[in-house]
Structure 1
């Protein structure tokens, strides 16, 4: 075979490979979607992502933070494809042109719960009055520092104010990071902690007392937003559809979501 015919053959093979979706000169790589997610969803996302990857062929990398913190990262222009945060945060990002507008899907909602060290006595918080008595009787309490943007910390701080006991609780309240919230209760430094139910249920060294009673409960709704500028829009859409599916909702419920 002469040189001209040999080059023509190589060119034909290369064109054929490209038409079959094979990259010439590099190994084929599955598309990857980068997700920024509120920490409250961590237990469910950890369980769901492997099934999504297996069924879709896409790969997913996930970074977690408070609902406010991950939204702030998108506002500052961090490169990512999809964000899962509170509806309020997604609305703000949409208004500022950071996520694709329209087609809002709420994938989960979760309430605030109280917890104690594993095996410790559980106070009665079955009504607003019982909750107030339990707070006043508690040796100490802890919840996520509201300045960090966590929905549960912001809500509990406001709740104590509304109930008129914030002043009395101030000296025995610890504002925690997610890294110290559970450990401080688990080792007995703090008597009662607060966070979203889904996160509490995922911790082995503490026990849920109960969700807050319905008349003082607060639910955070979580929604996805496809980030404008993403080069993996199809992968992000596929992940949103997966998280909204009946099978995913079953897993979310088992992880403490409603």
Structure 2
């Protein structure tokens, strides 16, 4: 019960890493607000948690809308008397090299993956600065190294990596008891990864899988729970001396 008494908001909580994180934090006693642009998915995850004796509340949320962020944080504070943890997990991951990515596709990725994280972090800092808290931004190992078939995605995740450090330093300088850290998953077996590979041609998808698996020293893709356990650690008081840090969970891929 490491999260007993804490309120956690997780975006993109309806599937994959977000779903596993909602479940894991709830198992440790947190009240979890499950947000997703797909309300049915958020409700399914919240119902499963509540049926297992946990506490979860589903909410529709489009992370690209500034007014929606303000309203959501205000609603959470009014309903649950505070916010202790924000996990900025919602993201999109289309494929495309530097040559074949359109400007519209580039902008849509940055809007969701970068602007969404910025707005969420900004509003959470305002909500947490009196009592403190933990903000966890989900980047990627592709935010540390490049991937030729995912130019826009890699760029967005690299931006999250450095933005997290800037936000962490601001909170420390202002004396807020807010920790801001980034998590860098490798290739995790999630619906998002499956759909990304499905966008590729058959030959490209086969080559991609072979190249990725050959590059993972542990010999397998990760599970959502592998990342959720790292998010639990950064959410809990056990990581109280960590801010502006990067937690890489990738089976040794970038090593």
Compute the TM-score of the two structures, normalised by the length of structure 2. Answer: 0.31
Name the larger-Rg structure. Answer: 1
More strand by share: 1
Compute the TM-score of the two structures, normalised by the length of structure 1. Answer: 0.31
